[in-house]
């Protein structure tokens, strides 16, 4: 018990450092250091914006991001996303309209969650995987269309952009024979995100607002809706 408490405290502190690095001040871990323009801090991973070339963002709560070019971003979910490790995603910016205030991008990814689930099942907590679960071979494919619109394009360069983003995506998996021991994870944070592991098609849509106040205070508010095999429907909110 004491060991778990210590691990929990360390994880909490590490997450806090990660969030601070990502959202508070200079969040760039850059291979080519640059002066960060504060108004761009709100171009988060769920927006249509790609990181500038050779910029690297590290986080436990969000994907690791790297700018391959000014229009192509590489993402990988690690940290608290262990159940879908290993994985890799590419986000590509396609079109700028309305003097650059409207941006259209797409994101495409592949994951092999079998290894991550083998780690995850050792936790053996209620509403997650049983410790004796037989994990099948799973390959997951995700495709997403993203549109972002800047609400205040003419604001002062020291003021953060306010960006509203809409996402529409499909999550499907190719899974080998599933044993009865491979139970569904009913914990609310995992049910929608792992449904495709069990042969379901997951259609999802999201709406998010990223903004900021006082040059250094940033926020995001969002809602995601899920339809599993065009039957079950669920809604999640984030903030």
Report field, pTM of the whole predicted structure over 0.85: no
CA distance 88 to 206: 21
From residue 114, give the alpha-carbon distance in Å to each of 56, 83, 93: 27, 8, 30
Please answer whether residues 107 and 89 qualify as being in contact, where contact means their C-beta atoms are separated by less than 8 angstroms.
yes
Q: Residue-wise pLDDT tens for the chain (239 aa)?
A: 444 444 343 443 334 333 333 333 334 444 444 444 455 678 899 999 999 999 999 888 889 999 999 999 999 998 777 788 899 999 999 998 888 789 999 999 999 999 989 887 876 666 778 888 899 999 999 999 999 999 988 766 667 889 999 999 999 999 998 888 888 888 777 888 899 999 999 999 999 999 988 767 888 899 999 999 888 788 888 86
| Torsion angle in degrees (nearest 10) through CA of 109, 176, 233, 117 | -70
Which range marks the domain in which residue 129 is found?
2-238
Sheet holding 217-228, edge to edge: 29-30, 55-57, 64-67, 72-76, 87-97, 102-111, 138-150, 163-175, 202-213, 217-228, 232-238
Total domains in the chain come to 1
Spell out the residues 6+ positions from residue 77 whose beta carbon is closer than 8 angstroms to its own. 63, 64, 84, 85, 87, 89, 111
Contact predicate 117/129, CB 8 Å: yes
């Amino acid at each position: 018990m004491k060991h778990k408490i210590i691990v929990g405290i360390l994880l909490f502190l590490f997450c806090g450092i990660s969030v601070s690095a990502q959202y508070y001040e200079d969040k760039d871990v850059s291979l080519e250091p640059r002066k960060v323009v504060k108004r761009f801090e709100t171009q988060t991973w769920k927006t249509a914006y790609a990181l500038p070339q050779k910029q690297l963002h590290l986080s436990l709560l969000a994907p690791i991001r790297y700018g391959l070019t000014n229009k192509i971003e590489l993402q990988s979910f690690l940290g608290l996303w262990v159940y879908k490790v290993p994985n890799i995603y590419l986000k590509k910016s396609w079109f700028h309209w309305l003097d650059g205030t409207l941006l259209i991008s797409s994101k495409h990814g592949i994951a092999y969650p079998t290894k991550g689930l083998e780690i995850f099942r050792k936790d053996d907590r209620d509403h997650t995987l049983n410790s004796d679960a037989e994990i099948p071979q799973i390959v997951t494919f995700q495709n997403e269309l993203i549109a972002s619109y800047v609400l205040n394009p003419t604001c002062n360069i020291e003021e953060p952009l306010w960006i509203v983003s809409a996402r529409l995506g499909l999550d499907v998996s190719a899974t080998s024979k599933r044993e009865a021991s491979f139970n569904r994870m009913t914990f609310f944070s995992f049910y929608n995100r792992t449904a495709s592991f069990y042969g379901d098609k997951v259609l999802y849509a999201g709406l998010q607002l990223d903004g900021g106040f006082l040059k250094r205070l940033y926020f995001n508010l969002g809602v995601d809706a899920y339809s599993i095999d065009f039957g079950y429907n669920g809604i999640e909110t984030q903030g």
